[in-house]
Amino acid sequence: MQVKIDPREVLRYLGGKGRHADSQVEQLVADVIIETARQCEPRCTYRLFEVDREEGGLRLRRTSVVLAGKAIARHLHGSASCAVMAVTIGSGIDRLMQQYSHTDLARSLVVDACATAAVESVCDAVEEDIRTVARKKKLCITRRFSPGYGDLPVELQPDILRILEAHKKIGLAVTDSCMLTPSKSVTAIIGLREQPPGDAAKSCTECTGSAACRFRREETPSDA
């Protein structure tokens, strides 16, 4: 799987939303994109699950995993099944950020932004794969929804990795504080449904931290 790192996304993660970067910053970003891409080892896995609705939340059929909270219930409204995915770009990025954190803090921050853009690009590719599978079933998909969004507890991470066998398949683990390791990794849930959701476009409007987030996307009428 090829990693694509969009320099515009890198600048957004660096807090450059709406501002033109000077030539020095642009060159630094271009150089670090190449360096970061060389360190990326993208790996992914996902599974489809039927969804059973019960009093405590949404249970992934034939598992003990229950998706609790109002936000995920809204997100999967109308979805009889969902895809649970896990993505990582490997531990080389963590080593690179650690290296530069001691020698070149500015470059370390750019590596971090490039790595974030990289893992999101891999997530986009997996999402497209899931979309293809859904189309074969004459279904549509929702956008991605991760533990920690809204009131879906981040403590769900160990269960997600367990049902995906993510440690064995892609080398993904979770700490006692429910942080994924390698750090540039993502788990997410995508609903499969007969009708396209009204929130199919990427949006920050439902995130509980969006008001204070410096990475927030500019919403447009097409995002609504």
Q: Which of 16-30, 32-46, 72-86, 193-207 has the lowest mean pLDDT?
A: 193-207
198-207 long-range Cβ contacts below 8 angstroms, 24+ apart: 199/142, 199/143, 200/140, 200/141, 200/142, 200/143, 201/143, 202/143, 203/143, 206/71, 206/149, 206/150, 207/149, 207/150
Contact 158, 187 (CB under 8 A): no
Contact 13, 116 (CB under 8 A): yes
Within-domain flag for 78: yes
How many domains would you assign to the chain? 1
Within-domain flag for 219: no
Grade residue 204 by pLDDT with cuts at 50, 70 and 90: low
Within-domain flag for 134: yes
Listing from the earlier edge strand, what are the strands of the sheet with 43-54? 66-67, 57-60, 43-54, 79-88, 185-193, 140-141
State pTM to two decimals. Answer: 0.86
Within-domain flag for 224: no
**Residue 153 DSSP one-character state:** -
Within-domain flag for 55: yes
Count of helix runs (H) and strand runs (E) in the chain? 7, 8
**Mean pLDDT in the chain?**
89
Determine the longest span between alpha carbons in the chain, in angstroms.
Answer: 56
Within-domain flag for 222: no
How much of the chain exceeds pLDDT 70, in percent?
86
Within-domain flag for 33: yes
- In this prediction, residue 16 carries a pLDDT of 72
Give 77's contacts (C-beta < 8 A, 6+ positions apart).
none
Residues 107, 60: Cα–Cα separation, whole Å: 42
CA dihedral 81, 118, 175, 60 (to 10 degrees): 0
- CATH code for the domain of 122: 3.40.109.40
Does position 199 have pLDDT exceeding 60, yes or no?
A: no
Within-domain flag for 109: yes
Grade residue 73 by pLDDT with cuts at 50, 70 and 90: very high
Domain with 39, as residue range(s), is 7-197
